[in-house]
Structure 1
Amino acid sequence: MTDALIIGGGPAGLMAASELSRAGYSVVVADAKPSVGRKFLMAGKSGLNLTKDQPFDGLIKAYDTAAGPLLDIIREFDAQAVQTWAVDLGQPVFTGSSGRVFPKAMKASPLLRAWLEQLRQDRVDIRAGWRWVGFDGADVVFDTPDGRVVVTPKVTVLAMGGASWGRLGSDGKWADILADRDVPIKDFKPVNMGFRVDWSSHMTRHFGQPVKSVVLKAGTLQVSGEFVISTKGIEGGGIYAVSKPVRDGADLFIDLMPDMPLDRIRARLTHRGKASLTNHLRKALKMPPIKQALLMEFAQPLPDDLAPVIKRLPVRHSGPRPMDEAISTSGGVAWNALDKNLMLTHLPGVFCAGEMIDWDAPTGGYLITACLATGRWAGRSAVKWLQSVPDHKTDIETVPQPLE
């Protein structure tokens, strides 16, 4: 028996645990993996991007179609609040030139350690290696290293992530359990992912290299950035930023020379003489070898007028990389399955938070911000639920009225 059970030990789950424990309730956090925060730690390997330092109106637009449901949730825990939260944990932050906010330590591990120490002081009980296998009436059932365990919570917060990076804990297997309880579930889709490209042999020497200072275009979206050539295809920040429309069928184009207008490129390429095309592109446009390689890869047979294709190079690909490799996923618990407190209307006293809800966002700090914000909101709503239900019992067969 416990006041609150949190299933999932990522940012959303730990934030919910913080809110409930600070309100004076006993909290158990259960996670299927041997330790908590594994995807959080992975995100910090190349520098933990916590949020984007921008006003709320700009921040909320990043969440696209989910902006409406997330509006109040992120308004109450915006970019400034994320920064304050990190500093309060003893982890000072800084803002890069792009507006992205990082801990000064850059890594996730110092922040996670400080957070877990705070939770320990608040008497939060963290149980690793506990895999949720479903409900049994008001009980919650787990497979654990010590066998099957049944927990009887007064309130439950589900924060088990999406369906990518399964080896870190987000395998999406929880969806079938909730669907069996008639909870509306949206199909999972990859978000912020790379795309498969069947490279010709001449690209081998460029594997692992970044392509810098380009503009990527897909549908109505146009993004300045860079990406990486990998053995499997194309990936990296610029690709992730346009991945959603490309995933949904839009063609992908690259402007290899975004700082030079079409007419100037055409003029510079006019007098080639006896120079090879490679030397001509290098001398006339200062085009680096990797951009030349992409031009040769995707523009064959080369037209006489190269300028238009340099400004709008079509990228042939074979679709997204496997969903488990995506940074995040959309899909999961549908918004119409939740009330405004993030409680499942089919399962009163059971709340959802984080990436397991059907929203997506670009990289750049937006993902972690929304996970923290929804975890906080669900935790506070769970406190409200505990305070409002006289006997503090959860009957998951009864459909509740949304809390005011």
Structure 2
Amino acid sequence: MNIQEIRSQFPILSEKIHGKPLVYFDNGATTQKPSSVIQRINDYYAKENANIHRGVHTLSQEATSAYENARTTIQQYLGAKESHEILFTKGTTDSINLVAFSFGELLTAEDEIIISAMEHHSNIVPWQMLCERKGCKLRIIPMNENGELALDQFETILSAKTKLVAVTHISNALGTVNDVKHIIDKAHKVGAKVLIDGAQSIQHIQVNVQELDCDFYAFSGHKLFGPTGIGVLYGKEEILNSMPPYQGGGDMIKEVTLEKTTYNELPHKFEAGTPNIAGGIGLGAAFEFLNSLDMEAVLQHEQELLDYATEALSKIEGIQFYGRAKNKTSVISFLIEGTHPYDVGTLLDKMGIAVRTGHHCTQPIMDQFCIPGTIRASFAFYNTKEEIDIFIKALERIIPMLKD
């Protein structure tokens, strides 16, 4: 990979923060956008702006084609069987809530849902709300001290009562890569469906939903170099057809009378109202950018960054890492004895270095480790070892200041 050539495509990486070159290590929260994505969104508003699916005029037809072509691009990237299995949503949270409501309407008080102890709040709260609404039981896959799921215990709580298993592919707080294929296969043996939270995975590893055989796969555009406010829910056609709509309104209907409404076919059945057209087109451009990369080289480079940073950080006195899974991606969560993560993050910002501090919307993980939060450095393929060196030198300067 020519990292400098790739970096040149991301305008913000040339910016300065407090007079210092930006070192952006908060990719787990959101990624930066290449010029091709920014330009594609601008071109839509400048040259194609119109509502879609409803107009016979030229602009509407062009906008509709661009939006649906983006859906096809994403379908092909994910290896989905049909383009109408790709639903545009506002993001991962919206996708999960869609399933929690629509699939949840098929459940009864006798049913059980399984999640894990390392989930983001967006893959916890919707299921808690569903259980309160329908009387279902929520069961939890435990996590060990290394930040790995106890899959042997997963098999003990899995039963014929289990109707859905919802787990993260990669932990946003710990970087753990879960064996979701094993989870899917085991769940299917008892007739349960599986939702995978792919918010932290699709930008790091190649995902093929048919090979995984997952029933749902959810992710956000802004975490994979695309716009905010747009995301995707992949769902198997037969399951989506069995589910009632999540919202009512324009485009999701086939026929409306004052007495009764019949619903549209997929994917429109779950896409009520005027969608985020620019976001969908921009997300398609982000996937076109990903198609230009060698994902094996991306994974290798990010693994090298992870190893390099972990080794360098381990030399800092008093450091404690959280998330020591054997299989993990480019996320490092840590604390430094005698310092508060917020103070470290604030001083790093003064040096132009962006990291995330806090519980990362994974409060149950922090509760298990009996800590309020961590400092998290999360890398993308446009990051470099030179940036990690700057990061380490900054920490070496900051830590004595905070301990005095």
User: Under TM normalisation by the shorter chain, which class is it?
Assistant: under 0.3
- TM-score by length of structure 2 reads 0.24
Identify, as 1 or 2, the structure richer in strand.
Answer: 1
Identify, as 1 or 2, the structure richer in helix.
Answer: 2
- TM-score by length of structure 1 reads 0.24
- Structure number, greater radius of gyration: 1
